[in-house]
Structure 1
Amino acid sequence: MFRSRVELKTPEQLRHMDAAGSILCEALDATVAAAAPGVTTGELNDVFSEFIARRGAKPNFLNYHGFPACICTSVNEEVVHGIPGGRVLEQGDVLKIDGGCIIAGWHSDSARTVILGSSADGTADPADERLSEITKGALWAGIAAFAEAKHIGEVGEAIEEHITSQKGPALGILEDYVGHGIGSAMHMAPDVFNYSTGMKGTKIKPGMAVAIEPMLVRGGIDTKVLDDDWTVVTTDGSRSSQWEHSVCRHEDGVWVLTAPDGGAAELAAHGITPAPPA
């Protein structure tokens, strides 16, 4: 259960979170680079865990409520919380890699979708690529809203608006799993919904940090948890995508803690220039 009180960080504490976010970004870069047909999800976990260990960071997923790995690897109809192991990746798979780490007691959390292959050579489904691109676009729409919003509910409104404005087949927005506050713990208040709830939600103040993570599916939004008590799958077997960043607001603006440039490249399209914590 998330804490009910929103934690407001000092600039120094946000700098620790930025350090954790930078290491996480590089660790995910290395893990994504290692993802290929014939590689097991367990091998990807090893790449990630060895990388952050070399950088002096600790994993925050490992042993979290008993979770047995440093990252979640969710494939195809697996939405989130997939446990790395002996599963061998195949051409055309839609892989979600979700990870986090800790520096000086401060947390980071980020996720990416990786499609093995491409539609250009026929090794990936164009509908899967569209799913991932729209999910990623929804993430940045949410981050852009967070940069200027007065209340956290505006983030979900922006995410939903981005998704529903897309041409082509409608995508489902998962409602069972949402974003969250982050800081001295991985999951904190406030909840960050990926759709409009009709409520303003928590007032956004300097020092707030959140993990924004839209999850979309090509089919129905109903999910179930497998017998391992962790892996969440769509009940209709439809494929899913997840993209996530940890983001902070401070006196001078917004900063994407888990992006290499603080989000500058992506936020430019929204007319926003991020600024690092002072």
Structure 2
Amino acid sequence: MNSRKIILKTAEEIEFMRESNRLVGMTLGELSKHVKPGVTTLQLDRIAEEFIRDHGAIPTFLGYGGFPNSICTSVNENVVHGIPNNTPLKEGDVISVDCGTLKHGYAGDSAYTFCVGEVDEKVKNLLKVTKESLYKGIEQAKVDHHIGDIGYAVQSYCESHGYTVVRELVGHGIGREMHEAPEVPNYGKRGTGPLIKEGMCIAIEPMINLGSKNVVFENDGWTVRTKDRKPSAHFEHTIAIRNGKADILSTFEFIQETSN
């Protein structure tokens, strides 16, 4: 991916992307009403696909590289790319839902880690810090900064709370394709990596572990889990660089409306 050219977006393209990303936020909000003990991730997947199609878009993940479903559902020690299945969620689980849409030819991408009923305080704190780190990274996404500044902000914040940063999976550029250049790691050194420019669109997605940073790629070809089987958290926003700083195109507002 590093050799690919970074495609800067026009103001018009960014507005198309905002629409796709808003729909992702609406879909996550819809799913948040259903995340509870006894529900299966396959049920969530069907709700998401129907919701996305009803709003005139297509689920980007479905068939992407052979992925069999419309959302990624990663429970507890699963970090990302979990395949929806018939196992019911249970009290105390956490579940990362990663969702993508394609509308008017432009992609949206966002993820949120939900609590299923009452969750252990240690795990709740992991989710809180991971979500906060996403915004720490977004603050560094401004013109004349570097991609490494984003990773440094996420890494230093999470590690200061005793958590670890997954190395094998990173954020990415986004536009007409769900994955474009540049790669956006959640670790790094300030002043390194590609220069951030006006019109750059990227997905920033901290993937943070309670225990060791080491992960295992499961035999299903998709699921990535923590090696020590301790919980992981994942939050993601798509942003555009406009007027020199980050304009967040995706939204968690629909999730917050449900949880209030």
TM class by shorter-chain length? Answer: over 0.9
Matches within 5 A, 1:90-105: 90-105=90-105
- CA distance in 2: counterparts of 1:199 and 1:222, whole angstroms: 26
Task: Give 1:163 deviation, angstroms.
Answer: 1.6
2 CA distance for matches of 1:2 and 1:199? 17
Cα deviations by residue, 1:146-185 (Å, 9 ceiling, x for unpaired): 146521111011112222333xxx1111011010000010
- Where do residues 1-278 of structure 1 align in structure 2 (5 Å cutoff)? 1=1, 4-118=4-118, 124-147=119-142, 150-166=145-161, 170-197=162-189, 200-251=192-243, 253-259=245-251
Aligned counterpart, 2:256: none
Unaligned runs of 5+ in 2: 254-260
Alpha-carbon distance in 1 for matches of 2:30, 2:190: 40
Deviation at 1:198, TM superposition (A): 6.0
**What is the CA-CA distance between 1:199 and the residue it aligns to?**
5.6
Q: Distance in 1 between matches of 2:167 and 2:89?
A: 28
Pairwise CA distance, 1:253: 3.8
Identity %: 38
Structure 1 distance, partners of 2:249, 2:105, is: 15
Distance 2:2 2:250 in 1: 21
Aligned residues: 253
1:2 and 1:84 map into 2 onto residues whose CA distance is 31
Which residue does 2:258 correspond to in 1?
none
Shift of 1:117: 2.0
Distance 1:173 1:95 in 2: 18
Partner secondary structure for residue 34 of structure 1? coil
TM-score by length of 1: 0.87
Pairwise CA distance, 1:214: 0.4
How far apart, CA to CA, are the structure 2 residues paired with 1:252 and 1:196?
22
Q: CA RMSD in A?
A: 1.5
- TM-score normalized by structure 2? 0.93
Moved over 3 A (4+): none
Cα distance in 2, alignment partners of residues 242 and 260 from structure 1: 13
> Structure 1: where are the runs of 5+ without partners?
119-123, 262-278
